[in-house]
Amino acid sequence: MSDRFDAVVVGAGVIGLTTALRLQQAGARVAVLSAESSAETTSSVAAAVWYPTRTRFEPRVLDWAGRTYREFARQAANSVPGVVMRPTRMLLRGETQDVPWWASAVPDLRALREDEVRAPFTGGWAFTVPTVEMSAYLPWLQRTFAETGGTLLRRRVDALEQAGVWAPAVVNASGLAARALCGDTEVRPARGQLVLVANPGLRTSLRDEDNADGSTYVHPRSTDIVLGGTFELGEWDTEPSPATAAAILRRCTELQPALAGARVLGHKVGLRPWRDSGVRLETDPRPPGRIRRLVHNYGHGGAGVTLAWGCADAVTALVGQSL
C-alpha cells in the first residue's frame, strides 16, 4: 500500500479539506484520513463567519486572512453552496476605537456614524465579510475533492507515522487531536456554546466586542440565526448548559431587540482547537517513520474558517517542495 498517494491530509474539518483541495489543484494525488466524517467535526458546529477571533497579529496571519477573504468572496460570487457575503457591524463600548489589525483584508471597512450607534455603545465598525453555512459547505468541499480525483478514507490515526504508509508527504490538520498526536500541550479546547433561533428576517451580523458578561454575536443565516457565545479555555464538556443558553439569549436580545420571542431551534457545543502560541504551520524537521515531509497545520482556535484557504496555500507551498 506504500506511496499510493503523493500526500495525505490527516483531518477532515475545514482546515483539512481546504488543504487537500489546494494540494490536489497543484497536481498531487491526495487522500484525506479521518476517523470521523466532516459532519462530526468541530467545523460542522462553527458559526463560520470570517473574523479573526482572538487571533494575534502576525504578518503571515494577515496574509492568510486576506487570501481566505478573497477566496470566499470569489466563491460567493460563483454561488458555491453555503457561502454568502454578509453586512456586519462590530459595536464597541470603549473611548478609543483603533482600526482593527485585519482592516486591510476587508475592502469596505468604515467607522460607524454617530446616528448608527446607541448607548451603551460608543462606536464601532461596519464591513462585509463571508458567512459560511457548514451544513452546505462541508459536503461541497468533500464532493469537489472526490469528483476531481481525491480519496476520503475513514481511518483512525493513533500516531502520525501511520499516515506514512499511504504517502511520503503528510499534512497534520488534526485540530484538537494534535494534542495527543504531537504531544503538544499548548493545544486545548476552547468550548463554544451556541443557540440557534428562527430568523425573523434579519440580514446583518452584529458583534458586541466589549460585553463584560461574555462574548455576544448575532449571525443570520439563510433559515436561522446563530447566537453566541462562549470561549471557555480548557473545558471539554460538549453538553449544552441551559443556564449558558439563557444568558446567550438574554445578551443577544439586548443587542438585537428583534430577537425577542424568537423560536429556539436548537443548541450546539463545539470544542475549538486552541493553541496558546497560535497556529502551528511549519515543516517538521524530524518527520517520524517513513514520512519524508511532515507539515503541521493546526491550532486555529476560533479562526479556522477565517484562515483556512490562506493556510492551505501556505501548506501547499511547503509540501510542493517535496513533490
Q: Quick check: helix, strand or coil at residue 275? A: strand
**pLDDT tens per residue, range 154-197:** 999 999 999 999 999 999 999 999 999 999 999 999 999 999 99
**pLDDT tens per residue, range 210-229:** 999 999 999 999 999 999 99
| Average pLDDT over the chain, rounded to an integer | 94
Whole-model pTM?
Answer: 0.95
**pLDDT tens per residue, range 83-107:** 999 999 999 998 877 899 999 999 9
Q: CB of 100 within 8 A of CB of 54?
A: no
Give how far Cα 91 sits from Cα of 121, 148, 214, 290, 291, Å: 6, 43, 14, 51, 48
Beta bridge partners of 198: 224
pLDDT at 38 over 70: no
E strand map for 64-186: 83-92, 110-111, 123-132, 151-154, 169-172
Could you tell me the domains of the chain?
A: 7-320 (3.30.9.10)
Beta bridge partners of 32: 9, 152
Q: Give 235's contacts (C-beta < 8 A, 6+ positions apart).
A: 189, 191, 271
d(CA 294, CA 292): 7
pLDDT at 3 over 60: no
Percent of the chain whose predicted confidence (pLDDT) is above 90: 90
